[in-house]
Amino acid sequence: MKLLYILVLLLGLTYAEFERFNFNQDVVARGTVYVNTTIYYPQNNTEGPVISVYNEPIIYVLDGPNQRMFLGSDGTGFRWVLPNGTFIILFGNSFKRTDFTYADQIKNYKFAFSTDNKDQKFMGKVLDSDSCQEKIAVDIEIKRYRNRSEKILQKTFQQYFPVSAPNISPYCTLTNAIIEFDDDFDSTSRRDSFFVLPPQFYAENIHLVPNYCDFIYPTPNACGI
């Protein structure tokens, strides 16, 4: 019994040393997203040929005090994660997620734990606004300052996307993305202009917008998700 107590105590101390990632910040960040997408074969867990490689500017806005987040680029689309849900524009199509809010984003990113003794690198598998029921692998690097402020330097993630199109056999893709942020973070200007939703997301139109998870991850799908 004494040995069991010691083991439990050691496990508790080890767990306590890991700091969780704090997603609830207040910043406007600009950078570049690098995306590499390959065919993925879930039957034998192997990757096939690369089908897409690109990079482009991206804007990332965290407004913790008002519980809202914006992520936008022409290729990866636009996402508003708000207190009442998530609203997405992807390849010109509009989607909604009423089951995933800003509070959910904060809660799930707490499963990204620090991997170094300076608490500047975080890694884990988390549920994200885009991932529905499938956890994505994330790797986040931040910089801390003596006044306890911090900023994100880089975010890397992997995510599976099933693809289905007319006259094409369904297949699965694996997207690897790296977002590298510029040094000139803005933590003082107003955020409101980033959170003006397009008209299709207004209350009188939202019933016409399809559910993101039902559309992107139908059951069954080629990724087996």
Q: What is the pLDDT of residues 191-200, one digit of tens each?
A: 899 999 999 9
Name the token pair of 149. Answer: 């402020």
pTM: 0.85
19 and 113 in contact (C-beta within 8 Å)?
A: yes
pLDDT band, very low/low/confident/very high, at 149 (cuts 50, 70, 90): low
Residues in the chain: 225
**Average model confidence (pLDDT) across the chain:** 85
Q: For 151-165, write each residue's pLDDT tens digit.
A: 788 999 999 999 887
CA distance 19 to 113: 6
Residue 60 has a CB neighbour count (10 Å cut-off) of: 21
* 93-97 vs 113-114, strand pairing mode: unpaired
* Residue 16 predicted with pLDDT over 60: no
